[in-house]
Structure 1
């Protein structure tokens, strides 16, 4: 899920996001490059509610949206939090690493998250620390760059990278680069 509140400073209609909530006018929209957007991962199809004092926090069940989770079982209890880590890592792998050629910086964290042995996976706090460290190591321009589909032709890459370059350069504060005003 994505919280689009920051993208629509005056709000938007729930059905037609191009219009204001009362549909009286067009909804102004800001760019994701310039506006922080929060994304949320929710309910992977196998949610369980635990009381805070419950211990150990183990579950049973084979049903879930990701059929690649190795430990799902109706007979052997498993840690559902390690399953969540696997599912998020596998989602990054399937929807980013496998599809785009310029997101290799995700490989290390994804490999840790999709370990077949649950005890080798990070917990949520460690995965977040790994994510934050990885993100800090990436130059701002690279974070703003478009993702490049693996099947993209050289011509498409040249055209789309040129467009992306012009957008990224126009968003860089002028004092960072000593260029004359145009």
Structure 2
């Protein structure tokens, strides 16, 4: 049994015990969990007189979600994410994930669905499956710097949702509100963000999975490249609420998602119990861009009209995803080069801070121009990412 439990500072919490109990099984499957979950774990801070020692120790940080944990793949040392899925709760998640990353669909460059590297079956519980995925990072961390970087995110997010809708899958995206913290850094449910990215091009040095600005040993901060210099690929994740429909079912109906985004107009009418998930997907994506970009930065005015269309109160007045992609392409095509290279201007910054940031950005932009680095990043496609992970053959459903 482990040295510490819930009652001890820094000890294992209740939601971590399942992972601790399955440590050896994961090892047999080819994956190593962090030392915190080993049966013979001895905390690295044991004997320290400092009450906060666990907070500055790499094995002292508890996992934030009971369903997702980081691990290392034994064969090559690649970091992966393990997601525990209860089929009785999310019966379609594994099948939809497998379908969207099947060889026939992975070759489409618009496919931004998180790759499924492997699916494991819990040997003690037939209801539990483990999805092995690439280890991804929150889409907004680190902060976007230029308009070109934001456009790259918009374009990848749009074409990814377009791809899903084209294959009759509604993501049924659910975005929970952020915590009211001074840093505004952590979302309420950080492990269930629906859009993330492969951080390896930007972060050449591995970082701690729980505190992603720290090195694995917690001794220093990790450095990273910009999105412009080292483009990344964004992925739609978490298909627990997703549904796939028949090709001729162009107007599917689903029950309202209780506990979801309360700003969705069709969720506010107490007399409406169903909704078209394709329409709601458009709202979710539009609202994400409104809250995380338009309300935060002052020079993305070219997106106002499109986002206003996507979040219209009446669902039937919103564009289809194909229409939204065409509108986005039209907007981007009209932007001059200097606009694409411009710095995103935070609304809360004062005049002095704007000036200081502009000076630094001018020198950085000059270096990009000399190196002929594109203003809008061009990242790898899904096939390249999967190959880098040496994807194994998927077991058949």
Normalising by structure 2, report the TM-score.
0.38
Return structure 1 stretches of 4+ with deviation > 6 angstroms: none
Which entry has the higher C-alpha Rg, 1 or 2? 2
Q: Contact 1:11–1:27 (CA<8 Å) still a contact in 2?
A: yes
| C-alpha distance in 1 between matches for 2:355 and 2:336 | 21
Task: Specify which structure has the bigger relative contact order, considering alpha-carbon pairs within 8 angstroms and separated by 6 or more residues.
Answer: 2
Q: CA RMSD in A?
A: 3.1
Asked whether the equivalents of residues 201 and 231 of structure 2 are also in contact (C-alpha less than 8 Å), the reply is: yes
1:63 equivalenced with 2:258 (yes/no): yes
Q: Partners of 1:27 and 1:62 in 2: how far apart?
A: 39
Write the deviation string for residues 64-105 of structure 1: whole angstroms up to 9, x where unpaired.
532111112685431101101101111111121112111111
Q: Give the structure 1 partner of residue 244 of structure 2.
A: 50
1: CA distance, partners of 2:239 / 2:359: 38
CA contact 1:50–1:57 (8 Å) conserved in 2: no
Q: Provide the residue aligned with 1:38 in structure 2.
A: 233
Q: Secondary structure at the match of 1:71?
A: helix
Match of 2:284 among 78, 82, 87: 87
Alpha-carbon separation, structure 2, partners of 1:12 and 1:174: 27
From the two aligned structures, give the one with the greater helix fraction: 1
Deviation (angstroms), 1:159: 0.9
- Is 1:100–1:147's contact at 8 Å kept on the other side of the alignment? yes
C-alpha spacing 1:109/1:42, structure 2 compared with 1 (3 Å): farther
Contact 1:86–1:113 (CA under 8 A) maintained in structure 2: yes
Q: How far 1:19 moved relative to its partner?
A: 5.1
Report how far residue 143 of structure 1 moved.
Answer: 2.4
Q: 1:82 to 1:11 in 2, by over 3 A?
A: farther
- Partner residue of 1:117? 314
Q: How many residues align?
A: 170
Q: TM-score, normalized by length of structure 1?
A: 0.76
- Specify which of 132, 141, 151 is matched with residue 348 of structure 2: 151
Q: Which runs of 5+ in 2 are unaligned?
A: 1-195, 373-397
- Unaligned residue ranges in structure 1 (runs of 5+): 176-182
Q: CA deviation at 1:168?
A: 0.8
